[in-house]
Structure 1
Amino acid sequence: MRAVIADGTGGPEVLSVGEVPDVEPGPGEVLIKVAATAVNRADTLQRRGFYPPPPGSSETIGLECSGTVVARGADLADDEGPAIGAEVCALLSGGGYASLVAVPAGQVMPIPEGVDLVTAAALPEVACTVWSNVFMVAGLQRGESILVQGGAGGIGTFAIQLATALGARVLATAGSPEKLALCAELGADVTINYRDEDFVEVARVATGGVGVNVILDNMGGSYLTRNVAALATEGRLVVIGLQGGARGELDLGRLLAKRGAVIATSLRGRPVGDKSAICASVVEHVWPLIADGSIRPVIDQVLPLDDVAAAHERMDDGGHTGKIVLTL
């Protein structure tokens, strides 16, 4: 099968496409012939040697895909998992940058109505990340407010739309007028240019001094102090990325006074049962919102797998909006 091969760790230039042995479905797994995959920030970290796959997972980069089921594990019951020939998308622990991938049946989802097979590759990681963190963990409620850091990226564009569709008030940060306009188009009530505006002050004014109920943060250490300052009483800060470093100063007194919570989560390393439960919840609660047009996948570029280095360059330079998709 064809797959992306990394010649050591480093920049995008270490990535190329070659031939590797075919994979086969193990117990509880199905085999997908991949139509498309998508690039995530975690992929660039793995390329640089900072985010190895969980034990037992494929060493090939790629956390999501879309495609067609071509084989099933022998232990799967007839009514367990998708049938051979089904067009699906899947949440992966690795292996998406390849023409075949084996994945636990519970992490395989039907393609939402109205979404084509290639575009569907851009959905699993963002949908599962946003739904599990913002709603299952942070418990965002209708009428509450959320601050989405990095609103124009893959996670951000999905979070803005999902929170808006479910009745929350959305504040979003981005770094250019074009990206801010996109956030507003997707439903953000307040947009903040993080390059020349203080998001803490903007959030304070926008909420009448109350602060925001939930923050979805991809920066980590460099934003920790200010994120806590921007929270409302009983606010919840969910950290899902460390683009601003792994260490920051936490004023516990301020957090106590607000009765706030700081939660750090990751999706990739969770047990199969947890990820399967998240996927099932996404299909139940999120897919209908995509089908009725409340949420649309935001695609920056669609490139062939052979252009994987260019796709990673695009991710690294930060100029993208939404998702970068690779086709096979």
Structure 2
Amino acid sequence: MRAVRIEEFGGPEVLVPVEVADPVAGPGEVLVRIEAAGVNRADVLTRTGRYHRAGRPPLIPGLEAAGTVVAVGEGVSGVAAGQRVMAMGPVNEPGFYAELAAVPVAQVTVLPDGVGMTEAAALPVAWLTAWLCLRRVARVAVGETVVVHAAASGVGSAAVQIAVDAGARVIALTSSAAKAAWASELGAQDTIDTSEHPGEAVVEEVLRLTAGQGADVVLDTVGGAVFAQSLRQVGYAGRVVTLANVALEPSTVNTLDFYPKNVTIHGFQLTNRLEHGYAPGDDLNEIARRVAEGTFRVPVEATFPLAEASRAHQRLERRSNRGKVVLTMD
């Protein structure tokens, strides 16, 4: 089968198209013919050698995909050959930048009618992360105010819609006026262009928009220095959920920014949650159902053929994307 493999850590050029042996569905596994694979920030960090959970080259990256089941292994039930599915997998095993993948059945979800393969390939990582962070961890409630950092990213654009659907007011933080306008189209009631409000100014703007009270929930998808800002943006008894450090820099935190407010800080990592027994099926079914019904819109900004995975990574690294970048197997 065709695949794209990281031959050594480095820039986008280390993503090399290769021919490798077809995988086989083992016991408890499903063999999926992949039609689309999501591209995530973790893939970029894996490629550069800066993702702490990644293995060593050569390795096939890719955490999420959608396709059609072509075979099932011994002991598999609930999934059959010919069904359309989305799938996710651990970061340290052969991934989804390939035409075929053998996936544990617990990490495969049958797709409802009305959800396309490109949309489905964007759901298992970014959308599931945003859903779990807001609905399961922070437990966003009607009438609360939610700050979403990097609101035009894959996770951010999902989080805006999920928070609005939960009945919350959303303050979307973006890096440009164009992205801020786009976040408004997704349902954000307020937006802040961080290029116009850098550093502490963005904290002041959040406080202004909340009449000095701060937000109930802050979803921090950036990390680094932004995490310290998140602690100052949240209000009394608020919740900060932090899920990444794409800034790749330390976070210097003043405890005075959170303990006097009785703030709760939640750390979140999807792959770790999976490894500790979380079964994603029910949540992914719920997300996919809402996509099929039209409640959620899955923005896919760009698609690239599998062989052009390096261009997909370049697009993501420019941070100009609004929504997801996806590879297709045509």
Are the equivalent residues in 2 in contact too, given 1:217–1:240 (CA < 8 A)? Answer: yes
Q: Which sections of structure 2, spanning at least 5 residues, go unmatched?
A: none
Q: Distance in 2 between matches of 1:118 and 1:175?
A: 26
Q: Which residue in the other structure is 1:232 paired with?
A: 235
- Deviations 1:28-54, CA, capped at 9 Å, x for gaps: 221111011011000000000112656
Matched, 1:279 2:247: no
- Secondary structure at the aligned position of 1:36 is classed as strand
The alignment-based identity, stated in percent, is 36
Contact persistence 2:238–2:262 (CA under 8 A): yes
Q: How much does 1:283 deviate?
A: 1.3
Aligned-partner residue type, residue 296 of structure 1: R
| Aligned counterparts of 1:323 and 1:151: Cα–Cα separation in 2 | 12
Q: Which residue of 1 aligns with 2:89?
A: 92
Secondary structure of the structure 1 residue equivalent to 2:82: coil
Offset, 1:81: 3.4
Equivalent runs, 1:67-146 vs 2, <5 Å:
67-76=67-76, 80-94=77-91, 95-146=95-146
Aligned length: 322
Q: Secondary structure at the match of 2:320?
A: coil
The separation in 1 between residues aligned to 2:242 and 2:106, in whole angstroms, is: 26
User: 1:200 is matched with which residue?
Assistant: 203
Alpha-carbon distance in 1 for matches of 2:54, 2:150: 26
CA change 1:269–1:55 in 2 (3 A) is farther
Match of 1:220 among 214, 223, 241: 223
Q: 1:223 to 1:152 in 2, by over 3 A?
A: same
In structure 2, how many angstroms separate the alpha carbons of the residues matched to 1:224 and 1:293? 33
Amino acid at match of 2:33: K
Match of 2:177 in 1: 177
Using the TM superposition, give the Cα deviation of residue 11 of structure 1 relative to its aligned residue in structure 2, in angstroms.
Answer: 0.5
Query: Tell me, which stretches of 5 or more residues in structure 1 are unaligned?
Result: none
Structure 1 CA distance, aligned partners of 2:192 and 2:71?
48
In the alignment, the residues of structure 2 paired with residue 13 and residue 149 of structure 1 have an alpha-carbon distance, to the nearest angstrom, of: 30
Give me the whole-angstrom Cα distance separating, in 1, the residues matched to 2:276 and 2:50: 26
2: distance between equivalents of 1:45 and 1:33? Answer: 26
Determine the structure 2 residue equivalent to 1:60: 60
Counterpart amino acid of 2:78?
G
CA pair 254-188 structure 1, distance change in 2 beyond 3 A: same
C-alpha distance in 2, partners of 1:199/1:279?
A: 37
The amino acid across from 1:210 in the alignment is Q
User: 1:191 — aligned with what?
Assistant: 191
Deviations 1:204-254, CA, capped at 9 Å, x for gaps? 111121111111112212112211111011111111110223522222233
Q: Find the aligned partners of 2:189 and 2:229 in 1 and give their Cα distance.
A: 20
Q: Deviations over 1:123-153 (max 9, x none)?
A: 2112210111111111111211111100011
1:231-250 equivalent positions in 2, closer than 5 A: 231-250=234-253
Structure 1 counterpart of 2:237, which letter?
E
Cα gap change, 1:104 to 1:145, in 2 (>3 Å): same
Contact 1:53 1:59 in 2 (8 A): no
Taking the aligned partners of 2:49 and 2:74, their CA distance within structure 1 comes to 35
The answer for the alignment partner of 1:265 in structure 2 is: 268
**How many angstroms apart in 2 are the aligned matches of 1:312 and 1:271?**
25
**Structure 2 vs 1, CA of residues 306 and 84 (structure 1 numbering), >3 Å: closer, same or farther?**
same
Specify the alignment match of 1:2 in structure 2: 2
* Distance (whole Å) between structure 2 residues aligned to residue 281 and residue 273 of structure 1: 16
- The residue that corresponds to 2:319 in the other structure is 318
Structure 2 equivalent of residue 254 of structure 1: 257
Contact 2:223 2:245 in 1 (8 A): yes
Deviations 1:94-126 (A, max 9, x none): 411011111121211122442212331112112
Moved more, 63-72 or 195-204: 195-204
Q: Are 2:7 and 2:59, in contact at CA under 8 Å, matched by a contact in 1?
A: no
Where 1:150 maps in the other structure, the secondary structure is coil
Q: TM-score, normalised by structure 2?
A: 0.92
Instruction: Give 4+ residue runs of structure 1 displaced > 6 Å after superposition.
Output: none
Which TM-score applies when normalising by structure 1? 0.93
